[in-house]
Amino acid sequence: MRLTTVGIPATRHFCATKADLKQAFGDIQPLSVHMGSLGNKYQFDSRCHHRPHLVGPVVASLSVSRELTAIFQAYPVEVESYSAEVVVQFREEVLPRMRLWLLTQLGKPQTAILGHEQLIIEWSGSAHREHAIRFM
Sheet of 58-64: strands edge to edge?
Answer: 2-5, 31-35, 70-74, 58-64, 116-123, 128-135
Please give the radius of gyration of the chain, using alpha carbons only, rounded to the nearest integer.
14
Would you list the domain boundaries of the chain?
A: 2-135
- Rounded Cα distance between 120 and 118, Å, is 6
Between these two residues, 33 and 38, which has the higher pLDDT value? 33
Q: Tell me the pLDDT band of 1, cut-offs 50, 70 and 90.
A: confident
Q: Tell me the pLDDT band of 39, cut-offs 50, 70 and 90.
A: confident
At 108 the pLDDT is 86
- What does the pLDDT look like over 43-59, one tens digit per residue? 888 787 788 889 999 99
At 110 the pLDDT is 74
Q: Tell me the pLDDT band of 85, cut-offs 50, 70 and 90.
A: very high
Q: Tell me the pLDDT band of 34, cut-offs 50, 70 and 90.
A: very high
Q: In sequence order, what are the residues at sequence separation of 6 or more whose Cβ sits closer than 8 angstroms to the Cβ of residue 3?
A: 18, 21, 22, 32, 33, 34, 35
User: Angle at CA 87, nearest 5°, toward 81 and 93?
Assistant: 125
Maximum alpha-carbon separation in the chain: 44
pTM given for the model: 0.92
Looking only at the bridges linking them, the beta strands covering 70-74 and 31-35 are: parallel
Alpha helices in the chain (DSSP H): 18-25, 84-89, 95-107
- Rounded Cα distance between 1 and 18, Å, is 12
Q: Tell me the pLDDT band of 92, cut-offs 50, 70 and 90.
A: very high
Other Cβ atoms closer than 10 A to 51 = 12
CA atoms within 13 A on the CB side of 68: 12
